[in-house]
Amino acid sequence: MKSNHKAKVVELLGGATLQSKLMNMGVYKGKEITKLSYVGLRGPVVIKSGRTIMALGYGVAAKVMVEAE
């Protein structure tokens, strides 16, 4: 997924706590998110979900399955 592109979340993988965390912060199945940037070298990915900007560690980002529009 490229920077500044939108995508829809299709599935959250990972453990129950991680899923719960993401869901609490407003990243859930069907939600449209925008990728803002990727720091590189397996660093964090910055996304925007609604009006929230958040940084996901590389491993977390890998568990958010999206479908690009």
Partner 1 sequence: MIKKIYLIGNPNVGKSVVFSRLTGVQVMSSNYPGTTVEISKGYLLLNGERIEVVDLPGTYSLEPTSDAERVAVSLLKEYPKEEMVVINIVDSTNLERNLLLTLQLIEEGLPVIVSLNMCDEAAHRGVDIDVVKLEKLLKVPVISTCAVTGIGIKLLIKRIKETSPVLREKLSRESLWKEIGLIVEQVQHLQHRHHRLREILEDASVRPSTGILMASAIIYASFKIVRFIGEFIISRITDPIFFNIYQPVLEKLTFHWQEKGFWFHLLIGDLINAKIDFKQSLGVLTTAPYIEFGMVLPYVISFYFILSLLEDIGYLPRLAILLDNLLHRLGLHGYAIIPVLLGFGCNVPGILSTRVLESKRERFIASTIISIGVPCVPLQAMIFGLLGSFGGFYVGGVYLVLFILILVLGAILNRIMPGYSPEFLLEIPPYRFPPLHMLGMKLYFRIKGFLIEAVPVVLIGVMIINILLYFKLFDIITGIFAPVISGLFGLPKGAVVALVIGFLRKDVAVGMLMPLGLSAKQLFIAATLLAISFPCIATFIVLWKELGLKDLIKSTLIMIAISIVVGATLNLAILR
Q: Point out which residues bind partner 1 (CB under 8 A).
A: 17-18, 20-26, 28-29, 31, 36-44, 46, 49-60
Q: What tokens appear for 25 in the block?
A: 């912060």
d(CA 62, CA 29) in angstroms, rounded, equals 15
Q: Which is nearer to partner 1, 23 or 68 (CB)?
A: 23
Q: Which is nearer to partner 1, 1 or 46 (CB)?
A: 46
CB of 14 to partner 1, least distance (A): 9
Q: Are 35 and 57 in contact (CB under 8 A)?
A: no
Which residue's structure tokens are 């959250």? 12
